[in-house]
Structure formats: structure tokens, C-alpha cells
Structure 1
Amino acid sequence: MERSAHIDTFARDNLPPLEWWPQMLIEGNPDVDYPARFNCAAALLSEQVAAGHGERIALRWAQGEQDASLTYAELDVLTNRIAHVLTQDLKLVPGNRILLRGPNNPMMAACWLASIKAGLVTVPTMPLLRAVELKTILEKAEIHAALCDVRLREELDHCMDAGHASHAPVLKQLLCFNDEGPEGLESLLKDKPADFSACDTAADDVCLIAFTSGTTGQPKGCMHFHRDVLAMCDTFSRHILRLSPQDVVCGTPPLAFTFGLGGLLCFPLRAGASTVLLERLTPADLLATIDRFKVTMTFTAPTFYRQMAALVGRYSLASLRASVSAGEALPDATRQLWKQATGIEMTDGIGGTEMIHVYVSSPPEQVRPGAIGKVVPGYVAAILDENLNPVPVGTVGRLAVKGPTGCKYLNDERQKQFVQGGWNFPGDTFKMDEDGYLYYQARNDDMIVSAGYNIAGPEVEGTLLKHEAVAECGVVGAPDEDRGQVVKAFIVLKPGFTGSEELKKQLQDFVKENAAPYKYPRAIEFVTQLPRTETGKLQRFVLRQMAQG
């Protein structure tokens, strides 16, 4: 590995042992032939300005009835000033982790870019996470500082409150943005210099730790290098999406989710395009945004496309050329419904936080019915059995992937499950045809994917078991036409409690209050016992069969 620029060496010290890494396909691929040292934030932003593109619009947003924007040059200066605040006021040094918390807005985007310019390791988090979930992330990544939208500070305040159950002593500094007060980020940055020399990071210095729940509910920190950030732009975006400076993108995935970070920030910046950032979007809002800002490309989950299809007649989508779907399996019925409504062939993709972004997809003209697509250029895929042997064409097996990006968990034994024999195993069952098209079958773990959110069943169980009425519970995904799956809880009550609609609502509200609200069980069934093996192990496959019925 190249000499690190990190003074705080935590990230590199906690990478998996090299023998646990997947094989990285970098040599001989001109798309990812990067110099040994560069800063990806400078590459995405400052290089556009240096190339004479500073007057192009980088970020757009709605400010009431008015349209607002920042050019590349203005965004570059803003991120430089924030970087000065981070290094001067907060005294942060390269390699320090910084937690980012905010909805999709210009300051959230600028804080991510500025933090990376300063050589920090960014840890973006979902706006809906509660203090107990943030505490786990703060402690696992040993995060001492946070940048937070002032409207979302309450949960982090709990983490800094010595008297609160979610107190995380590791967190020492909290600075809020979109804050008009004298202690806010905007007040601190206004007098800072417009120039900042980006940290001289190595291509393989960690710049991003993206947390994913996994199947156990114990978060896994997926560590990504500066080169990984550019690689997602120069593979999927370059070859499949083919963004140009004329493109305007928008969508729903949070910037804390790598699907959103790539599609709504990194991809457009890499291409010199612009992105529309909006904090809250309903299907109607997204259609209105396409109409208002003349959007050319959207990023969202199949659930949204299905709901939007019924509303398209109320808006002009004349500017829209591409629709990208990821985050959950795309039903062919949804693809056809969207195509009938708009004339646009959906670009489907499967990716993952471990791989940073999409690695299986096809451009619209190469779509094959029922298939997600082929591997993105730069990646290879195989369908393997439990012994890592290839299965015959058309046979269902485990999807295995290699490419210029790959899984590198933060100090986690589960690295050996995800990476085997140099392959990344995302945890999906697929089959491949003779032409290399990949057909999704199912998850081969207990992850519930609902409306684009990954929800770990055991995590929801752990929350429900804290309620006074719950003796036992098992949580699985139940099929749902709109969301793909919904969280369904099978609950055995303690003596003295009776199952009722009122109790169902109490339990749902309890989960919303003690975990991210999207994790709550939309379906609850009271049962007298749960299916278990002779050794007492919960038989989830039986619960899944019950949920199917």
C-alpha cells in the first residue's frame, strides 16, 4: 500500500488482513488507472474548476418558490471554507473519523466533500437513525466529531448526554449546519479563506466508512478508499449511465446510502453535470421536480416508480432520458408499468454497500426480460456452489463478484464470510444464461428489503423483546406488492396480555420510538409458539413460509 497521509492511523490499522481481501481487478484497466496519490473530493470538484468549468451549475435546489443553485466554483469555495473550520476550529487531523448527519441538501453534500478534502474519514448516517443506533456507529468507528443538520441534532445530543442511556463518551464535538446561530457552521466559515490545499492522500487511504446493518443487526463498517469513490464513477456511471455535462439528476436515496452518494453527488460531479437535492420527496414531488428542473435522469427504488407511473400524466417529463432503479429487486411488472407510462426503459442494477455501488446492470438498449443485466465493465461475476465451484449455465447458485472495488470491513470477522477465495459474495442467489445475463432469485440471508431499505430481522426482534408484553418474537419479510417486502413480526405474548389491534399499534409505535421508524413491523401476527429446532434455534424459513401464506 502507498504511504498514508493519515496522522490518525485508525482506519488503516483496522482494515482486514490482506489475506482476507478480495482480488482487486485494477491492473490493466485504463478506467481505474489512477495515480498513487490523489484526493477524490479534489478530483470531483476542484479539477472541474481548474479545467475551466467553474461556472457550470453543480447543485440545484428549491428555496420556496424560487430555484437556487451553486456553481462548481462556488461549491469549491464553500467546501474549502468548511475544510478550514474542520482543521482550524475543530482541530481535526487527517485520518480522524467524522460522522455526518443530514438530509439531502447542499450543506450535507458540501460537508462530505470538505471533510474528504481535509483528509478525514467520513461516516455518513441515515437521517432516521436513533441515538442507540448512532451510539453503536460512534463507538465502532471511534468517532470524536460530528457535523449535523441543526434540525436533526436531538439524537446526537442524547449521545453526548452523560445521563442518557445512549451516551457515547467517544463523541466530543458536535457542530451544526443550516444553523443561523453564532455557533453554527455558517458563522464559523464565513471569514475563512477561499482556498484550501486538499490533503495529499494516497489512492488507498480510507475516505468513507459506510455502515450497513447486515443480517444480525450488528452494523458492519464498509471501508472505501479514495480510488473506490472514483471507480464507481468510472465504471457504472461511465459505461452504463453515460452521464454528460448536460445532465440534471435527482432522486430519493439519502446521501448516507452509497446508492445516493454515487447517483446524486459523485456521478454528476465526475461528469460536470448538475444534481437537484431535495430533502423530502413523495412520488408526486419527484415528478414535479423532474418537470420544474428539467431533470434528465432519476435514481430511486422500484416502489417509487410504481407509484409515479399512475401520476405521470399530470407532469411534463419531456426532459427525462433515463431512470435508474436499485436498492431492491425490480419486478418486471413495475418495469413494464413505467415503460408504458413514460416510454423509458428502466436501467436496473444490483450493487451493495460493500462494493460501494452497482456492479450488475445493462444500458436500456441491452435489457433482456427478467434479467438485471450483465456485469458492469471492469467487474467479473460467476455463479458458484458452496464449494466455490462454478455451476452449470442456468443453474441457481451464489453470486460471486470481483472488480476494482471490494469488501473491506472495519475490524470485523464477517469479512471471511463475505470474501471467499478472492471473490465477494453479496449474499444473493442468481442464475446466469449463456450470454452472461444475470437473473436475481432471492437473498440467501435474513435481510428484509422494504421500499429500498435494508432491515435486519434480528435487530427488529431485539427491539420488540424490550416491550413488556413480548415473550418471544420472530421477524421476517412478507411479500408486498408496493414495497417488495414488509417487516412481519410473529409474536408470543407474556401471560396477562391479549393480542388486539390496539396492542399491535402499541408495539409498532414502540419500535418507531426505539429504532429507525422505517424498521417497524407493518404486519404483526400473534402466535402461541414459534417454530424452533430441537436445539432451540428459531426456524426462520418456517416463518417465511407462514408469511408467504
Structure 2
Amino acid sequence: MMLTPSAHKDTFCRDNLPPEADWPDLVFDLAGLNYPDRLNCASALLDATVAVHGRARPCLHTESETWTYGDLLDRANQIAHVLTDDYGLVPGNRVLLRAPNTPWLVACWFGVVKAGGVVVTTMPLLRAPELTKLIELTRPALALCDHRLLDELSAADTALPIASVGGPGDDDLIRRAAAKPVAYTDVRTGADDVVLLAPTSGTTGMPKVAMHFHRDVLAIADTFSAHVLRPHGADVFIGTPPLAFTFGLGGLVTFPLSVGASVVLLERPDPDALVAAIEKFSVTVLFTAPTAYKSLIKRDDPERLKSLRRCVSAGEHLPEAVFDRFHERTGLQIINGLGGTELLHVFISAADDDIRAGSTGRVVPGFRAEIQDDDGNPVPDGTPGRLAVQGPTGCRYLADSRQRQYVRNGWNMTGDTYTRDADGYFWYHARSDDMIVSAGYNIGAPEVEAVLDQHPDVVESAVIGVPDEDRGMIVHAAVVLRPGVAGDAAKARELQDFAKSTAAPYKYPRSIEFVDSLPRNPSGKLQRFKVRENWGTR
């Protein structure tokens, strides 16, 4: 396809797009997906919504305050002024965001986008070594960091300028913004200018970074949200995923704001806080992973969920038993969905009478999907194979040779094994790569191995995912220790604590076994399938 002229003065993103020959084929045959050449998704989601619904409409709720749409617009505009006036941001510069789910994080996201910047989303749990890798990959000009999360970012091996958000200093971003005008002229970016760099766990220790355009952010609202979720302006959304997850960005920003709905933001979305907020704010739409639905099923207060009308599950496979039990307890049918960072959001799903328990659903309007064999040929219905997807969004990795692994013959290869039935429903079997999906988190096995191998007592390790009733899968590590070191329970706990302190805590191995050696092929390549086989015989 022919890219529209870019408004970016900093050309880093466009310079590092993969060659167009390596892109997936893009599909725009659904009405509403033909966007103008000049498009700023912040203008479309925020300014346009204010123009339709007014400034006084509730937008962002927390336990202690509510921001209206006018509040969010003013503060996003003021932040855009700070970025351009005080920090010299030019269109195309990357800005790293690091914060829990708060109204100020949403305002920062919109401020960066309004100024023509590119958002680099980061999880609050990431540690300094992980942040260092992302900064080296994305080369941001600036970081906006919640003052409570400064330590790990400051410890990263980088000279990145950091602006504190919510801290006591006079130069804090919030204080700077308060002195700025509330009007701002948004940069007229191109529809296919990059707006978002989203890290995704890779199959090696180096993360992959998915690049998404302004039109992509709107396309997920005009496909899954408009045709499956079908929200309206009176809805109140809530969810557990961080806004750094594209699942969270869609469910807690793009979808509600596209229809003028409001959102409850939780900094620590444990089950008690989630249920309390649903009850307090009469929440109607919930976005979370199967792990959370399992927790809700075990509670004895389902009546506190009575305001809900839409429950969306993604991040990992939703077991049929969880769907059935949740329906029994609440009367609600969970909208199961399959998406991915590479395609930004959900592309297979079903709602209401279209739901078949145990199935992921059918292709979301605007997308196409088929099941292929190892050679890329479509297989008959009922035959397991590799899931291949096309749509208005698709994989574009930032300067990464793994682009050719994810995209094959114009299709996005999700890494999942599925079957499709004669009615077009897709049924999940397993991941077909080394990704571990645990409680909604994508964890690359080699990432955890690289952390464990840094411990002085570890010679080498192999990491796999093993089944778990509550989390779907957990991280399991087979570890070879140096001679003379005892492989006992105390050593396992020590390695777990080491992993938690070195990488994001959700990546640590919840199961560890000590072995004398690891299986490898004649060329020395680790054979994780044999580790899985050995675990399966225990």
C-alpha cells in the first residue's frame, strides 16, 4: 500500500517500519474503515466526543475523584503544551509512559498523541534491566513517570530525561501543566503515522515492539467494539489490565471514549477492589482475564455484580467450565475474545446469542481468519492447524527480523493452534510456540531463562509453561545448578526471589525442578518439548 505523507519531523518510526513486502495484507472492506489521510486519533476520540456530548459528561472515575470529558481535554492539552514548549517535543519523538492506571496516565497518553508524539507503553512492574532494553529499542526523547515508580526507571542504564508526574517538586509535570493554556491545536498527523509502540514478549530475551498507526487505534473501535461489544454512552467501564497492555488501552480508553462512556480506573485491581468498584459505580462493562473470572466465581457475593451487562475475557483461553459457572452464578455470558499486541486488539469473538460455550467465537467483522497447515495451506474444517488472521490492523515489528516469522504469505500467524467448525466457530487447542500465557500475561520462556541464568549458582535453565487450574498456565523451570550446590526447597525459593527482583514479578517460575542436564539436539539447541514430556510423566 502507499503510505500517506508523514507529519513526523523525527522519522525514526517510519524509518524502522519493516519493508512493506513483509507486512501482512490489510483488509478495509468493512464500512467505516476508510479514514482520511490526515488523522489524529486523540482528536477523534477526545475532542470529537466533547463536541458531541459536551464537557460536563463524566469520563474518568477513581475512588476519590471524577474527571469530566472537559477536565481530561483541558489537562491533555496542557500536557501537550508542556511537551512542546518546555521539552521541545517534535512530531515523531517517542515518549515513554510509566504509571499505574490513573487519570493522569490517560491525560499523558492524549497529551503525547495530540502533540504528534509516539507513545511507548510500559508496564508498571517492569524492572530496570527490562526498561533499559525497551529504551535502547525505542529511543524515546523523554519519559513521563509516576513519582512512585521513579526508582526502577532512574536505575535503568540510560540517560533518558525523566519528568515526574504527581511528585512534590516545582518542576513536576502536573504543576507545569497547570500554568499552561487549556487550548491546543492538535498536530495533523497522517492516518498511517505511527502513534504507538507496544512491547510484546518475544521468543528470545529481546522484546518485540509492535508499531501501530493512528487509524489502527480507531479501527479496533470500529470493528470489535462497534460490532461485538456494542457499548453506548451510558455505560461505565472497568477492567484489570494495565493501560500498557493493548487489551487495556482498548477496553479502558478507546472503546469507552469512542461512544462517550465513562471508565473506573483501578491502580491495584485485586478482586476485593474490583467488586467494590463495580458495586459503587454501577459498572456495566468489565474487561479482564479468565483468572479474574475464576476468582469472582469463588466469591459468595455475586449479587454485587448485578449492574454488569457486558463481561469481556481475553489474554488467555477461557475454559468452558469457567464460562458455565460464571453464567450460573450471575446470569451473564462472558464475551470470549482472542486478540494480540501485533493486531492491537480482539479479532475473534462472539456475544449474546452468537456465543457457543468453549469456543473463542467467530471472526470479528472487518477481519478474516483461516486455519493453515505447516506449509501455509488452508485445512478442512475440523482439522487442527495454525491460526492465520488478516484485517485492518496487522503486525509491524520495529526493526526486527522476527517480522518474517509472524507474517507469512500476507497472513498474521498468531502462534495458536485452532480448529474451525462448519459454522465458522474457532476452537482453541494450544499455543504453538514457546509463549507462556499465565493469568493473561504473555511471558517468553527465554526471557525467564535469561534471568535465572544470571544467578551465580545456575549453570543453565529451561523454562516451559505447565497447566494450572487458576492461572491457565504457570512458569516452570528446569534448572542445572553448579556442582556442590544443593537443589532443595530453600534454593528454589531463593531463585524465585531472585527472578522477582530482576524481572517483572509475574514472570517468576512458580514451579522449579533441579536436573543434572538439559536435553539438546546435536547442534546444541535446547529441546523444550522434551522438558515438557519429562514434566508430563511426573
Q: Normalised by the shorter chain, which TM-score bucket? A: over 0.9
SS state at 2:343 partner = coil
State the SS of the aligned residue for 1:323.
Answer: strand
**Partner residue, 2:184:** 196
Deviation at 1:112, TM superposition (A): 0.5
1:35 matches 2:32 = no
Q: Which moved more, 1:43-52 or 1:306-315?
A: 306-315
User: Normalized against structure 2, the TM-score is what?
Assistant: 0.98
Pick closer, same or farther for the CA change 1:341–1:314 going to 2, 3 Å: closer
**Structure 2 equivalent of residue 98 of structure 1:** 95
What's 1:60 paired with? 61
What is the DSSP-based 3-state SS (H/G/I as helix, E as strand, rest coil) of the residue aligned with 1:530? coil
Q: Is the aligned partner of 1:352 residue 2:340?
A: yes
The answer as to whether partners of 1:327 and 1:452 remain within 8 angstroms in 2 is: yes
**Unaligned runs of at least 5 residues, structure 2:** none
Instruction: Check if 1:125 corresponds to 2:122.
Output: yes
**Pick aligned residue for 2:6 from 1, 4, 7:** 4
Q: Is the 8 A contact 1:448 1:476 kept in 2?
A: yes
Q: Quote the residue 1:456 is aligned against.
A: 444
User: Which of 23, 45, 48 lines up with 1:21 in the alignment?
Assistant: 23
In 2, Cα distance between equivalents of 1:312 and 1:346: 19
Cα drift, residue 547 of structure 1: 2.9
Looking at structure 1, the residues matched to 478 and 189 of structure 2 have their Cα atoms a distance apart, in angstroms, of 50
Equivalent in 345, 355, 362 of residue 367 of structure 1: 355
Which of 125, 144, 147 is equivalent to 2:144?
A: 147
2:247 is the alignment partner of 1:246:
no
Deviation of the 1:315 alpha carbon: 4.8
Verify the 8 A CA contact 1:83 1:114 in the aligned structure 2: yes
Aligned to 2:370: 382
Residue 60 of structure 2 contacts residue 265 of structure 2 at CA under 8 Å; is this kept in 1? Answer: yes
Aligned twin of 1:162: none
Q: Which of 449, 470, 484 is the aligned partner of 1:496?
A: 484
Q: TM-score, normalised by structure 1?
A: 0.96
Pair 1:319 & 2:307 matched? yes
CA distance in 2: counterparts of 1:155 and 1:315, whole angstroms = 41
Aligned to 1:80: 77
For the 8 Å contact 2:415–2:431, the answer to whether it is kept is yes
CA distance in 2, matches of 1:6, 1:146: 19
SS of structure 2 residue aligned to 1:31: coil
Cα deviation, 1:53-100, whole Å, max 9, x if unaligned, reads 32211111102xxxx111111110110000000001111100000100
Question: Aligned equivalents of 1:41 and 1:547: distance in 2?
Answer: 49
Decide whether the 8 Å contact of 1:287 with 1:315 is kept in 2: no
Tell me which residue corresponds to 2:224.
236
Check if 1:174 corresponds to 2:171. no
How far apart are 1:312 and its partner, in Å?
A: 4.9
Pair 1:266–1:312, CA change in 2 (3 A): farther
> 1:478 is matched by which residue type in structure 2?
V
How far, CA to CA, are the matches of 2:533 and 2:443 in structure 1?
19
Say which of 108, 111, 114 aligns to 1:111.
108
1:116 Cα offset (Å):
0.3
CA drift of 1:241 comes to: 0.6
Amino acid at match of 1:168: T
Q: 1 CA distance for matches of 2:323 and 2:443?
A: 24
Report if the CA contact (8 A) 2:46-2:69 is conserved.
Answer: yes
Q: What SS class does the counterpart of residue 269 from structure 1 fall into? A: helix
1:418-439 Cα offsets, whole Å, 9 max, x none, are: 1111111111111101111001
3-state SS in 1 of match to 2:414: coil
Distance 2:222 2:534 in 1: 44
Q: Is the 8 A contact 2:234 2:261 kept in 1?
A: yes
Give the Å deviation of 1:459.
1.1
**Paired residue for 1:343?**
331
Instruction: Tell me, in whole angstroms, the C-alpha distance in 1 between the residues paired with 2:352 and 2:14.
Output: 40
User: Matched residues in 2 for 1:227 and 1:12: separation?
Assistant: 15
Q: CA deviation at 1:213?
A: 1.5
Native 8 Å contact 2:55 2:70 kept in 1: yes
Helix, strand or coil for the counterpart of 1:5? coil
Question: 1:341: how far off?
Answer: 1.3
Deviations 1:205-230 (A, max 9, x none): 00000001122131111000000000
Report the counterpart of residue 163 of structure 1 in structure 2: none
Q: Contact (CA 8 Å) 1:180, 1:187: kept in 2 or not?
A: no
Question: Following TM superposition, by how much is the alpha carbon of 1:273 offset from its aligned partner in structure 2, in angstroms?
Answer: 0.3
Question: What pairs with 1:255-266 in structure 2 (closer than 5 Å)?
Answer: 255-266=243-254
In structure 1, C-alpha distance between the alignment counterparts of 2:472 and 2:50, rounded to whole Å: 42
Identity level (%): 53
How many Å separate the matches in 1 of 2:404 and 2:300?
Answer: 46
**SS state at 1:33 partner:** coil
**Residue 405 of structure 2 aligns with which residue?**
417
Residue of structure 1 equivalent to 2:317: 329
Alignment-mate amino acid for residue 196 of structure 2:
L
CA contact (8 A) 1:312 1:341 kept: no
- AA paired with 2:47? S
Given that residues 180 and 186 in structure 1 are in contact (C-alpha distance below 8 angstroms), is that contact kept between their aligned partners in structure 2?
no
| Cα drift, residue 478 of structure 1 | 1.2
Q: Name structure 1 gaps, 5 residues minimum.
A: 160-166
Distance 1:302 1:112, change over 3 A: same
Alignment match, 1:45:
46
Quick one: distance in 2 between partners of 1:536 and 1:226?
44
> Which whole-Å CA distance do the structure 2 matches of 1:336 and 1:543 have between them?
33
Rounded to whole Å, the distance in 2 between the matches of 1:20 and 1:541 is 29
Distance 1:32 1:481 in 2: 40
Q: 2:16 and 2:452 mapped to 1: Cα distance?
A: 33
CA distance in 2, matches of 1:318, 1:29: 35
- Note if contact 2:243-2:249 (Cα within 8 Å) is conserved in structure 1: yes
Give the secondary-structure state (helix, strand or coil) at the position aligned to 1:32.
coil
Paired with 1:378 and 1:226, the residues of 2 have a C-alpha distance of 17
| Residue pair 2:387, 2:415 contacting (<8 A) in 1 also | yes
For the 8 Å contact 1:471–1:494, the answer to whether it is kept is yes
* 1:70 counterpart residue number: 67
The offset of 1:314, in angstroms, is: 6.2
Q: Could you tell me how far apart the structure 2 residues matched to 1:180 and 1:539 are?
A: 52
1:392: Cα distance to partner?
A: 1.0
Contact 2:360 2:425 in 1 (8 A): yes
Output the aligned Cα RMSD: 1.1
Deviation at 1:536, TM superposition (A): 2.3
What is aligned with 1:157?
154
Indicate conservation of the 8 Å contact 2:302/2:330, yes or no.
no
Give SS of 1:176's match. strand
